[in-house]
Amino acid sequence: MRPLIQTLIPSGHSPSDCGEAYAPANIALCKYWGKRDEALKLPRTGSLSVSLGAFGTHMRLLPAKTDSLCINGMEFPADDKAHRRLFGFLDLLRAPDFRLRVESRNTIPMAAGLASSASAFAAAVKAMDALYDWGLDGRTLSILARLGSGSASRSVYEGFVEWHEGVDPTGMDSFAEPVAPVWPDFRVGILTLSEAEKAVGSSEGMKRTVETATLYRAWPEQVARDLPEIRRAVLCHDFPALGRTAENNALAMHATMIAAWPPVLYWRPETVAALHAVHQLRAEGVDVYATMDAGPNVKLLFLAPSEARIQEIFPHMQTVSPGDG
C-alpha cells in the first residue's frame, strides 16, 4: 500500500517542529456498510454524512525519540489497541525511522457514544499535512483518511459531505466531497443509552453482514434510492424528506446486520424504547427522526424550533448544532 500512498504525497519535504489540526466527528444520514476491499477500505456504496461542527478531535504531532500517544491527558501504552491502530496508520505516511509524540484531544463528550475514530484519523492526516507542509487538497486528505477508517474520509470537511464509492481498484476515485454547508436550524440530538463497550466493532460487523446476510443483497438498492434523495433534501432544505429517508436508511442497515450470522444486534431495550418515543413524538406532529450507527445509542435529527419539546421527552439529550464550527 505504501507505494500507492507515496504517489499522493510530495517528496522532499522536511518536518517542522509541530503539526496541528482539527477534524469534526460525523454522522451518516445515508450509511456506509460493507467493503469491497478490506485493506484499502473501499466501500460497496456511496454515503452521505453531516459533520458535527465543534465536536471532534484536535491533534498535535511532535517529532520525538520514541512513539507516544496521549488522548485527553491520558497516556496510552504501546501495546494498547488505540496506540497500535494510530501508529500503524501513521507508518503509512511517515519515513520508517521517524518517531512521533501524538497529543489528541476529543471535544466529543466521552459518554456520548459517538465514534471518535473518524475525527481522529482525519485529524491525523491533516496534522501530518501541517507537519510536513505538503499542501494536500481535500480529495487527497480524504483518500488518506479513508485508509485509517472508512468514515474518516468524510471527516476532513465540515457540513454535509458525500463519499463516492468509486470503481477503481486502487481507490483513487473513492473520496469524499462537500455537498453543502449545514443550515443554521439543523440539530443533532445525542441519546446516550448504553456506555458498555460494543461486542462487535464496525469493521467486523460489516464484514460479517456482507459474508452471511442474504438481506445485504438489497442494501446497494436501498442506497441507490436513498442517497440521491438525501442529497436533494440537503440541497433544498427539505427537512421531512431528509429525516424520513435517513431514519429508513439506518433501520434498513440494522436489518441487514440482524440478518447476519452470528447476528450483529446492537440494540438494547433502551434503543427500542427511544425509537418508540420518537414515533410517538411524530404522531403528535413533532418533526423528529432517528438514526443509529454500529452501537445501541440513538441520534435524533430535528430543527431548532422542535428542540424544547424533544428535550422534555429526552431530558438527557445532548444537542449539537453542526453549523457551529
The residues that touch ligand DP6, with contacts defined as CB under 6 A, are: 28, 31-33, 41, 47, 115, 117, 149-151, 202-203, 293-294
Number of alpha helices (DSSP H) and beta strands (DSSP E) in the chain: 9, 13
* Distance between start and end Cα atoms, the chain: 34
Nearer to ligand DP6, 113 or 189 (CB): 113
Q: Which long-range contacts (CB under 8 A, 24 or more apart) does 224-228 make?
A: 224/45, 226/30, 227/30, 227/45, 227/46, 227/47, 227/48, 227/162
Nearer to ligand DP6, 117 or 306 (CB): 117
How near is the Cβ of 294 to ligand DP6 at its closest, in Å?
Answer: 4
Which residues make Cβ contacts (< 8 Å) with residue 73, sequence separation at least 6?
A: none
How near is the Cβ of 118 to ligand DP6 at its closest, in Å?
Answer: 6
How near is the Cβ of 300 to ligand DP6 at its closest, in Å?
Answer: 16
In which residue are the cell numbers 469491497 written? Answer: 36
How near is the Cβ of 60 to ligand DP6 at its closest, in Å?
Answer: 23
Nearer to ligand DP6, 62 or 193 (CB): 193
How near is the Cβ of 247 to ligand DP6 at its closest, in Å?
Answer: 14
- Alpha-carbon gap, residue 150 to 47, rounded angstroms: 10
Nearer to ligand DP6, 62 or 190 (CB): 190
Residue with smallest beta-carbon separation from ligand DP6: 150
Nearer to ligand DP6, 250 or 277 (CB): 250
Q: Pick from 205, 197, 215: which is nearest to 264 by CA? A: 205
